[in-house]
Amino acid sequence: MTKLNKGLLRLLLLLAMMVATNGAMAQYSYRFSDELGTYHVKFTPHKETKFKAPTTKPLLPATHELRIGILWGGLDCHGNIANDNSLYYYSDRVEVSKLSGPDHWYAFTLDYGYWAREWVSIGGSISWIAGLRNYYNEYDHKHAFTDHSNHISIMPIARFAWLRKGRVQLYSSIGFGFGILQQRHHSNPRTNSIEAYFTYDLKPFGIAVGRKWFGYMELGYGSRGVINVGFGYRINTKTK
């Protein structure tokens, strides 16, 4: 075996040892000499990387988003604000034999969105606005009955982010769909009623702060409320 072949064999053996022992200790540079000369080997181990949101953007494309929030001022099928004494509107009653308590309203929304691009998201929303009012006997003040009103709306929603910087995202959204109004009134001849209606939602201004976990607030008009606030979670499925 010639001296050249011996030198090449030593170099190949050295490289094989460096690859085999890379998990235990990373070798980035090595220098050795033999009768043929001096060799300088540089080695950088491969590392699998994943996409991470850049520091200048709140999210990347191919991001799934889930939001949970509360709302105020959602519109019912008559164009009235659902949680603004609308139980009186539907009851239309005058009863001197009963005393009524205050309205109690609970309003929630659950949204899903998929950001196909950094600036556009397509998804859907489910909103539920529930109201109740208790009535009491005027003589002994015992509970007599309770009126209920439930507004449930389902709609596709598109969001358009017109500012994306750091952890802050400013956007607008629009949605159209359908809703169901279910009511139960004990003093009304129609004690139980169900009504379907058209729903819409327009939010000229929305702000989300954060990346993986974020909080948001939206201002606008429609079935999802005049004010909508909550928090969300994002999952990015794009990897190298």
The string of DSSP codes covering 63-100 is EEEEEEEEEE--B-TTSSBTTTTHHHHHH----TTEEE
| pLDDT at residue 16 in the model | 64
| pLDDT at residue 98 in the model | 61
Per-residue pLDDT of the chain (240 residues; tens, 9 = 90+): 565 566 666 666 666 666 555 544 455 666 767 777 776 666 666 665 555 555 578 888 899 999 999 988 776 655 566 655 455 444 444 444 567 777 778 889 999 999 999 999 999 999 998 888 787 877 777 877 777 788 899 999 999 999 999 899 999 999 999 988 887 766 555 567 788 888 889 999 999 999 999 999 999 988 888 899 999 999 986 643
| pLDDT at residue 212 in the model | 92
Nearest to 98 by CA among 188, 184, 194: 188
Residue 121, burial from CB neighbour count under 10 angstroms (0-12, 13-18, 19+):
buried
What pTM was estimated for this model as a whole?
A: 0.66
| pLDDT at residue 143 in the model | 76
| pLDDT at residue 83 in the model | 53
| pLDDT at residue 14 in the model | 64
The two structure tokens encoding residue 134 = 């208790």
Beta bridge partners of 168: 165, 209
| pLDDT at residue 145 in the model | 76
Helix (H) or strand (E) holding 86: helix 86-91
Contact yes or no for 170/206 (Cβ under 8 A):
yes
DSSP state letter for 10: H
| pLDDT at residue 85 in the model | 46
| pLDDT at residue 126 in the model | 95
Write the single-letter amino acid at 238: K
The two structure tokens encoding residue 105 = 């309203």
Helix (H) or strand (E) holding 234: strand 227-236
Tokens 């300088």 belong to residue: 40
pLDDT tens digit string along 9-66? 666 666 666 655 554 445 566 676 777 777 666 666 666 555 555 557 888 889 999 9
DSSP state letter for 81: B
Write the single-letter amino acid at 60: L
Helix (H) or strand (E) holding 6: helix 3-20
